[in-house]
Amino acid sequence: MALREFCQVEVRAGEVIKQHKISALPVDPFIVAKNESILCREFEAIAPGISGCLMKVGDKFGIFYSDRFSSDGFRRFTVAHELGHYFLPGHIAYLFSQGNERHESESGFISDDRYEREADAFAAGLLMPGELFKNVAARVKPGPRAVETLSEQCGTSLTATAIRYAKLSDDPITVVCSKDNRVQFAFMSEILKARRGLTWLKRIPGYRKGR
Ligand SMILES: [Zn+2]
Give how far the C-alpha of residue 199 lies from the chain's centroid of Cα atoms, to the nearest Å: 25
Q: Which residue has the higher pLDDT, 38 or 208?
A: 38
Radius of gyration, alpha carbons of the chain? 17
Q: How far away, in angstroms, is 154 Cα from ligand 1 center?
A: 21
Range of lowest pLDDT (122-136, 154-168, 195-209): 195-209
Convert 52-88 into a string of H (helix), E (strand) and C (coil). Answer: EEEEEECCEEEEEEECCCCCHHHHHHHHHHHHHHHHC
In this prediction the pTM is: 0.86
Q: How far away, in angstroms, is 202 Cα from ligand 1 center?
A: 22
State which residues have CB under 5 angstroms from ligand 1, the bound ion: 105, 116, 119
3-class SS of residue 47: coil
Q: How far away, in angstroms, is 143 Cα from ligand 1 center?
A: 30
Q: CB neighbours (10 Å) of residue 124? A: 29
- CA end-to-end span of the chain, whole Å? 28
Distance from C-alpha of 191 to C-alpha of 170, rounded to nearest angstrom: 6
Q: How far away, in angstroms, is 138 Cα from ligand 1 center?
A: 32
The pLDDT of residue 210 is 31
Q: How far away, in angstroms, is 87 Cα from ligand 1 center?
A: 12
Distance from C-alpha of 53 to C-alpha of 208, rounded to nearest angstrom: 26
The confidence band for 202, taking pLDDT boundaries of 50, 70 and 90, is low
Q: How far away, in angstroms, is 210 Cα from ligand 1 center?
A: 29
The pLDDT of residue 110 is 63
27-82 pLDDT per residue, tens? 999 999 999 999 999 887 677 778 889 999 999 999 999 888 778 898 999 999 99
Q: How far away, in angstroms, is 36 Cα from ligand 1 center?
A: 18
3-class SS of residue 6: helix
How confident is the model over 118-123, as a mean pLDDT? Answer: 94
Q: How far away, in angstroms, is 199 Cα from ligand 1 center?
A: 30
Q: How far away, in angstroms, is 164 Cα from ligand 1 center?
A: 18
Give the helix/strand (H/E) hosting 112: none
Q: Which residue has the higher pLDDT, 88 or 184?
A: 88
Q: Is the pLDDT of residue 8 over 90?
A: yes
The pLDDT of residue 208 is 39
The pLDDT of residue 169 is 86
48-61 pLDDT per residue, tens? 778 889 999 999 99
Q: How far away, in angstroms, is 104 Cα from ligand 1 center?
A: 6
Annotate 20-49 with b (16+ C-beta within 10 A) or e (fewer).
Answer: eebeebbbebeebbeeeebebeeeeebeee
138-189 pLDDT per residue, tens? 999 988 899 999 999 999 999 899 999 998 988 888 888 788 888 777 778 8
The pLDDT of residue 84 is 97
